[in-house]
Chains A and B, each alone.
Chain A
Amino acid sequence: MTTLQDPPVAVEASAAKAPRRFHALIGFGLAAVVLFALAPVALGDFRLGLLAKYLCLAIVAVGIGLAWGRGGMLTLGQGVFFGLGGYAMAMHLKLADAGPGELPDFMQLYGQLDALPWWWKPFANPAFALAATVLLPMLVAFLLGLLIFRRRVRGAYFAILSQALCAALAIFLIGQQGTTGGTNGLTDIQGFFGYDLNDPINRRMIYFIVAAALLAVLGVAWQLMRSRFGELLVAVRDGEERVRFLGYDPANVKLVAYVVAAGMAGLAGALFVPAVGIISPAMIGVVPSIEFVIGVAVGGRASLIGPALGAIAVAWAKTALSEKLPSAWTYFEGLLFILPVVFLPGGLASLAMYLRRRRSTSTEVTS
């Protein structure tokens, strides 16, 4: 273990490091206790359902933290991957609800189709649909990333392009009402792989699945951040050209982070469907995609747990504030974009780190 020999000054270095194994284990244990024991006991069905939704957003945030905080790619297009994952899951659940050989309800209503469109058919297979929720977004991210990163489109260009992709996909989905449900999206989902979603106990089960997924995603992100790849990713963020002169192709490094983030967003979208019961183009467009980013900025873009906590906190604040003062929420949201980014670019996580550093220096002085 190199950590034992670290001189005291190493505290400085923690900005670019993932939490140490010991801290991380405590953290994961704590999170597991909160998510699996405290929350289900303390919250009623309704609030627990809301929490499940927040946790889905947190999963997206972990991916954005990786791509943006560590990789410097401000992706304003995570809604696309969230949507792909969500639609893949919802398509399967709609088919399962309809029963073998039957068309989903909205197709009969609006599409006047006699047969299932060919691209719906594979989603009847549960294994295919489950795999697609994660792999489909990753594939799209891979192809797009290949085109974009290879040509060194980056920074603001990348952000704007990813935003334009959202707008285009949302408009396209809306236009295909007969086969995608249009603006309505896919709604009224009754069952989840045989479990009745109307049953509160099964809804609790969904919550536990989402919570477990969040922990798993955090685990993946932790391993990526502490690995050599994580260090390389930071290097690419801070000096893409310099990395090139070291013999790496930064496009590949970025591509991996981008694809992983897309997979996480896809997973989140897939879980969002049973947790909330709907997926619609409204979750894909420009506005929700940029809203995914606030939580990350507030929580601390480059930290492991910051984006997830930030996303949960912002989503909770949105629910709480918009219940009381709807128009105040928009002002508050505007300020959330402005104040942390301008005055606390490291987010809440950097505040925690600052406090820890102060404590550690003060103990040094006293001892």
Chain B
Amino acid sequence: MSGLVVRDLQVVFDGFVAVGGVDLTVPSGDVRFIIGPNGAGKTTLIDAITGLARATGAVTFDEHELLGRKVHKIARLGVGRTFQNSTVFEELTVLQNLDIAAGWHRGPLTLLRRRSSVPPEVQNALETVRLTAVRDQLAGTLPHGQKQWLEIGMLLVQNAKLFLLDEPVAGMSHEERDATGELLGELSREHTVVVIEHDMDFLRRFARSVTVMHAGKVLSEGTVAQVQADPKVQEVYLGHPVEA
């Protein structure tokens, strides 16, 4: 089936089990939120899918097996991700950032020439993530929210089909969150989106489905309402304002 399929995924660091047997199915077009307390293994799960952490089990995306492939080969299969701390190239302009993200398939001759015009997909992405006005500004000078958008824009031009976003709205203002949420909705028309997030309010408004992780395992899965009603989740989140 298309979409992301994870079966019995295990990641072990020096004897410490970070992810212990996770099964996860995200059909294409879904906007899946993954939540869980710190240390639940959320980021490690994404690390394993994208090839950063060594794992056992099986991960397929659109029928391609991902485990065992190198990071850049997985990226070429249409798997894109962002990081908790924004990792745009601060010494390059917004345009340059996007142009690089759009270009892994370029041949040597194109690479060795100067960019003569803005590629159409980059232009589109600039408009989608609303960064046209700051196109020639160094990415390092952007405010935090715009950096996160730039990251999403880079995934767009990268032609990623699966978006793995690690806390994309942390540190954003309310307006920025809303805008980001809407952007996620637009994206889901053509992409599969997986978001790691702590912000419950944001989750309730924009998630289509939710997976709750705890101690390296999947605790609960379903719609927002289903998950909120799950007693196991309430137990884990005791003292956390789930109901609020």
- Residue in A7, A244, A250 with the greatest tally of chain B CB atoms within 10 Å: A244
- Residues of A close to B71: CB separation below 8 A: 241, 244-245
Pick from B57-65, B136-144, B177-185, B196-204 the stretch touching chain A.
Answer: B136-144
Q: Are B115 and A228 in contact (CB under 8 A)?
A: yes
Known A9-B137, A245-B80; judge A227-B111 contact (CB<8 A).
yes
Q: Are A234 and B141 in contact (CB under 8 A)?
A: no
- Residues of B close to A245: CB separation below 8 A: 50, 71-72, 75, 80-81
- B95-151, CB < 8 A from A: 96-97, 99-101, 103-106, 110-115, 117-118, 136-138, 141
Known A12-B138, A15-B138; judge A246-B89 contact (CB<8 A).
no
- Is the C-beta of B227 less than 8 angstroms from some C-beta in chain A? no
Q: Are B136 and A231 in contact (CB under 8 A)?
A: no
Instruction: Report which of B90, B92, B158 forms a contact with A246, defined as CB distance below 8 A.
Output: B158
Known A228-B114, A239-B89, A247-B76; judge A10-B100 contact (CB<8 A).
no
- Residues of B close to A232: CB separation below 8 A: 100, 103, 111
- Is the C-beta of B91 less than 8 angstroms from some C-beta in chain A? yes
Measured between C-beta atoms, what is the minimum distance from B119 to chain A in Å? 11
Known A9-B136, A10-B136, A246-B101; judge A223-B112 contact (CB<8 A).
yes
Q: Are B104 and A238 in contact (CB under 8 A)?
A: no
Measured between C-beta atoms, what is the minimum distance from A221 to chain B in Å? 12
Residue-wise interface mask of A (223-244) relative to B, using a CB-CB cutoff of 8 A (1 in contact, 0 not): 1101111011011001101111
Q: Are B75 and A246 in contact (CB under 8 A)?
A: yes
- Is the C-beta of A13 less than 8 angstroms from some C-beta in chain B? yes
Measured between C-beta atoms, what is the minimum distance from A256 to chain B in Å? 9
Measured between C-beta atoms, what is the minimum distance from A364 to chain B in Å? 16
For residue B95, which residue of chain A has the nearest CB?
A2
Measured between C-beta atoms, what is the minimum distance from A323 to chain B in Å? 40
- Residues of A close to B75: CB separation below 8 A: 244-247
- A3-52, CB < 8 A from B: 6-7, 9-10, 12-13, 15-16
Q: Are B91 and A246 in contact (CB under 8 A)?
A: no
CA distance A250 to B71 in the complex (A): 11
- Is the C-beta of A248 less than 8 angstroms from some C-beta in chain B? yes
- Is the C-beta of B44 less than 8 angstroms from some C-beta in chain A? no
- Residues of B close to A229: CB separation below 8 A: 111-112
For residue B90, which residue of chain A has the nearest CB?
A238
Q: Are A16 and B111 in contact (CB under 8 A)?
A: no
- Is the C-beta of A105 less than 8 angstroms from some C-beta in chain B? no
Q: Are B111 and A246 in contact (CB under 8 A)?
A: no
- Residues of A close to B113: CB separation below 8 A: 227-228
Q: Are A2 and B117 in contact (CB under 8 A)?
A: yes
For residue B159, which residue of chain A has the nearest CB?
A247
- Is the C-beta of A291 less than 8 angstroms from some C-beta in chain B? no
CA distance A10 to B83 in the complex (A): 27
- Residues of A close to B84: CB separation below 8 A: none
Q: Are A13 and B112 in contact (CB under 8 A)?
A: no
Q: Are A12 and B137 in contact (CB under 8 A)?
A: yes
Q: Are A15 and B91 in contact (CB under 8 A)?
A: yes
Measured between C-beta atoms, what is the minimum distance from B76 to chain A in Å? 5
For residue B164, which residue of chain A has the nearest CB?
A245
Measured between C-beta atoms, what is the minimum distance from A66 to chain B in Å? 13
For residue B117, which residue of chain A has the nearest CB?
A2
- Residues of B close to A16: CB separation below 8 A: 91-93, 96, 138
- Residues of A close to B115: CB separation below 8 A: 228, 231
CA distance A84 to B88 in the complex (A): 39
CA distance A2 to B115 in the complex (A): 10
Q: Are A228 and B106 in contact (CB under 8 A)?
A: yes
Q: Are A6 and B96 in contact (CB under 8 A)?
A: no
B interface residues (Cβ-Cβ under 8 A, vs A): 50, 52, 70-72, 75-76, 80-81, 83, 87-93, 96-97, 99-101, 103-106, 110-115, 117-118, 136-138, 141, 154, 158
Q: List 10 A-B contacts (CB under 8 A).
A: A7-B136, A16-B138, A228-B112, A234-B91, A241-B52, A242-B88, A244-B72, A246-B104, A247-B75, A248-B104
Instruction: Please give 9 more A-B residue pairs, beta carbons under 8 A apart, in addition to A227-B113, A235-B89, A246-B158.
Output: A12-B137, A15-B91, A228-B106, A228-B113, A238-B90, A241-B52, A242-B83, A246-B104, A247-B158
